[in-house]
Structure 1
Amino acid sequence: MFCSYSIMSALAALAVIFILAVVIRRTARPGRYWVHSLLKDGKEKGLFWALYDDLRKHPEKFFSYTGMSIDSFDELLEEFYNDLKCEDDIFRQAVTPCERLLLTLRFLASWHSYSSLHLEYRLRKSTVKVVVLSTCTLLWSKLQPKFMEIPDQTKWMQVADLFWRRCHFPNCLGAIDRKHVGIVCPTFSGSNFFNDNQLFSMVLLTIVDADYKFLYVDIEPNGGSCDCTSYSNYKFERLLESGRLNLPEPKPWPGTTQPHPFVFIGDGAFELSTHIMQPYDHGSLNSKQRHFNRRLTKARSMVECAFGILAAKWRIFQSSLQITPEDAVCVIKAACVLHNYVREKEGVDLKDSDTPEHLSAQ
């Protein structure tokens, strides 16, 4: 009896020692902490707190860093301050609205990933992701009705008039085109996002006016679909065919009496229809057909220039997005509506070398 009791006591002691060893090993394991030591001094050493006040003293540097002027930034912050504000909790202080907006604009205006930004701003990587995506969602939902709403007939007529004055193409409601936006290969996606350029991408469909502003954007997540068939996957085609775009009634071209429908102009990838115009195929063209192609090319160059301006300002379009396709849709839409916001607030420089304004009508 005494022997069995001693054995049980020894086993119990060994069990206690084993449990203590496991606890000590786990607590001593490197890398297990509540807040990384690099992030503890975020309020003192983070990029926002160290740079923001000095950055505002240099407007040209501020514009390069955020993609917009100080006045545009302040107006945006004032309008969405309450929506960006979060309450502190018992564990940590919330990211301020100003820092949330600056961080998001820096993400859009640079090639930086969540990993690099979380070290610069001394924030958790997960926090950076939440801040960027929530702010992008807010910007799209609030700015889209003001700066990218589908035009009514009066607005469509203004767009057509501007195309005629600048590009000498009559009854034009916008230039339509697609842009492949590179992304890192999504997990288990196979060849769904793999395009003909041997890259993984999503396809951005846009309609642009003669001021290089986007009238409509839509995103096809599957960048592997070819250009000649991807148009049918967009909501725009359904809106156009159902007559829900509020297009103006046909109107005669200048110097003529026969009414002609208003059209969107694109390249050969878009199927010719009542409201879609494309150039003549290159080949044995007569002088009138070549003249028509020159006019159409001048007008369609507006969308090419808009893509160039978009990628130059929001440099995320110059490299592959290191985010999921779902997050990429949110980020791309925010960048497009911010493009319109900046063009509206800060004007359009018609002296840009990429504008066809200087080309005279033939």
Structure 2
Amino acid sequence: MIVDLLKEPSGKFHNFCRISYEDFELLLNKIGPQVQKKDTHLRLSIPAKERLAVTLRYLASGDSYQSLSFLFKISPQIISVIVPEVCQELIIALSEHLKTPQSPAEWKTIAQVFEERWHFPHCCGAIDGKHVILQAPPNSDSEYFNYKSTFSINLMALCDADYCITYAN
């Protein structure tokens, strides 16, 4: 599936992953070696390119792991391992690009741009969260259990008026 999209010059890849192919390649170069697994005698590993595509599609669309399993022909159980692993590597690789404002003046600049562009006075950022579904670690009891009766962690992100992430946790 992903191979077909990469060959298309029509912008379908950008629509599917919400990222340009050039940026996709840049991310792949940064995290590819960390997320690539080794082949075994029993099976071939899922390529880093496909691992990244699954994760980006999940983050862009909010599709369930079951839905992604139909798209990528990967079991939902494996996807539930891939997504948190790739997200963790993305956080590590891109942490240098997350610039949290360090002074009151920087926060005021962000608030000024929000007011000028979006007519939101005194706004220092737009915040949102996403439940990243995972398999509960052993002996975690209800630590990762959420209100939808699944196990997940909550990814929270704050971005400025230009959609640049200023903080993620």
TM-score in terms of structure 1 length: 0.35
Distance 1:132 1:163 in 2: 33
| Number of the residue aligned with 2:124 | 175
| Number of the residue aligned with 2:97 | 147
Distance 1:72 1:118 in 2: 24
Distance 1:176 1:162 in 2: 7
| Number of the residue aligned with 2:55 | 104
1:84-115 C-alpha deviation (Å, 9 max, x unpaired): 22111111111111111111112222243222
- 1:173 and 1:157, CA in 2 relative to 1: closer, same or farther beyond 3 A? farther
Distance 2:56 2:129 in 1: 22
Task: Report whether the alignment pairs 1:161 with 2:109.
Answer: yes
Shift in Å at residue 59 of structure 1? 4.5
Distance 1:131 1:63 in 2: 21
Residue of structure 1 aligned with 2:64, choices 79, 90, 113: 113
1:293-345 C-alpha deviation (Å, 9 max, x unpaired): xxxxxxxxxxxxxxxxxxxxxxxxxxxxxxxxxxxxxxxxxxxxxxxxxxxxx
Shift in Å at residue 173 of structure 1? 8.6
Task: Report whether the alignment pairs 1:67 with 2:4.
Answer: no
1:266-314 C-alpha deviation (Å, 9 max, x unpaired): xxxxxxxxxxxxxxxxxxxxxxxxxxxxxxxxxxxxxxxxxxxxxxxxx
1:67-87 C-alpha deviation (Å, 9 max, x unpaired): 101111111111222112211
1:128-164 C-alpha deviation (Å, 9 max, x unpaired): 2211221111112221x223243334xx634533543
| Number of the residue aligned with 1:80 | 31
Distance 2:29 2:132 in 1: 33
- 1:79 and 1:216, CA in 2 relative to 1: closer, same or farther beyond 3 A? closer
Shift in Å at residue 203 of structure 1? 7.7
Listed as ranges, the matches of 1:214-253 within 5 Å are 214-218=165-169
Point out where structure 1 has 5 or more consecutive residues left out of the alignment.
Answer: 1-46, 195-201, 219-362
**Aligned-partner residue type, residue 63 of structure 1:** H
- 1:97 and 1:204, CA in 2 relative to 1: closer, same or farther beyond 3 A? closer
8 Å CA contact 1:77–1:97 kept in 2: the answer is yes
Higher relative contact order by CA 8 Å / sep ≥ 6: 1 or 2? 1
Distance 2:11 2:155 in 1: 30
Distance 2:156 2:69 in 1: 32
Q: Percent identity?
A: 24
Aligned residues: 154
| Number of the residue aligned with 2:138 | none
Shift in Å at residue 124 of structure 1? 2.8
Listed as ranges, the matches of 1:203-214 within 5 Å are 207-214=158-165
Shift in Å at residue 183 of structure 1? 9.0
Distance 2:35 2:132 in 1: 28
Listed as ranges, the matches of 1:35-46 within 5 Å are none
Question: In terms of Rg, which structure is larger?
Answer: 1
1:224-269 C-alpha deviation (Å, 9 max, x unpaired): xxxxxxxxxxxxxxxxxxxxxxxxxxxxxxxxxxxxxxxxxxxxxx
Listed as ranges, the matches of 1:1-362 within 5 Å are 47-48=1-2, 52-143=3-94, 145-153=95-103, 157-161=105-109, 163-164=111-112, 167=115, 175-176=124-125, 179=128, 193=147, 207-218=158-169
TM-score in terms of structure 2 length: 0.68
CA RMSD of superposed structures (Å): 3.7
1:15-35 C-alpha deviation (Å, 9 max, x unpaired): xxxxxxxxxxxxxxxxxxxxx
